[in-house]
Chains A and B, each alone.
Chain A
């Protein structure tokens, strides 16, 4: 792992929870949508908060694709779940919300999980044979 890879994982970590929060805020404004009203579901992206959320999620997608190109899925997903911890700290210290003991316990469990996976190798699966996988050795 080098600095570039840690920055990519940080991108996955930060963009996803912020994007999800913006989507949630926007969808509360849009209101309930019935399964029979699919056009309304498609038009929900016209809401500015939903639109902003989608921009953040595009940032997440770019970081996520980059991370998946050099690390296992079972490494990237738990390693990037620190975003939940980040959201809780924002809620407690920036928004001054009350964070319950149960939630702190959840934060501790997520942190343990991230610690477990990041202490191991980022890749275990064999490289598929293809003309584009013969990349140069990584410079650290």
Chain B
């Protein structure tokens, strides 16, 4: 009984950590990539090494990768305590909604009704697929 409660608590703590760190990482990486420019075109004009150097010198990129690493290990921790059918959909669906809010606030993206609908439909769909 206590073991089961402990397992659920650890799983939901991991989900919370995944959602927060993943959203922060997505916002930071998105900001870094917008600042650098279209990677495909840059690679064609200046080469892969140049693109990699640009990315590695961008502090938003490095911070974003750090957040993604935290998210990754939080996911591994969660998966060691509960099934992927709970951890995956719960973390993914909450991350969709958190990202829509974060993109509007921090990246100044125009999150219109179409994009809100998309985020909510995908989040609801992911939950149903995990049930």
Question: Chain A interface (Cβ within 8 Å of chain B)?
Answer: 4, 8, 20-21, 23-24, 27-28, 30-33, 35, 41-42, 44, 50, 57, 61, 64-66, 68-70, 72-75, 77-78, 81, 84, 88, 100, 102-103, 105-114, 116-117, 119-120, 124-128, 130, 132-136, 138
Contact A74 B125, CB 8 Å, known A127-B34, A130-B35, A135-B42: no
Q: Which 10 A-B pairs have the closest CB atoms?
A: A106-B128, A109-B125, A113-B121, A106-B129, A110-B125, A113-B122, A117-B118, A124-B110, A68-B33, A116-B118
- Residues of chain A contacted by B39 (CB below 8 angstroms): 65-66, 69-70
Bound Cα distance A105, B127 (Å)? 10
B27's contact among A4, A73, A133, by CB below 8 Å, is which?
A73
B99's contact among A8, A41, A74, by CB below 8 Å, is which?
A74
B98 → A minimal CB distance (Å)? 10
B32 → A minimal CB distance (Å)? 8
Interface size range on B against A: 35 or more
A74's contact among B29, B45, B111, by CB below 8 Å, is which?
B111
Give me 19 other A-B pairs in contact (C-beta within 8 A), A42-B73, A69-B39, A128-B35 excluded.
A8-B40, A23-B76, A23-B79, A24-B88, A32-B81, A41-B76, A66-B40, A70-B38, A73-B30, A73-B103, A103-B129, A106-B124, A110-B122, A111-B125, A112-B121, A113-B120, A113-B125, A116-B121, A133-B35
Q: List 21 A-B contacts (CB under 8 A).
A: A23-B79, A27-B76, A28-B79, A35-B77, A64-B29, A72-B103, A73-B27, A74-B104, A74-B111, A74-B119, A81-B125, A84-B129, A105-B128, A106-B124, A110-B122, A111-B125, A120-B114, A124-B112, A125-B34, A132-B36, A135-B37
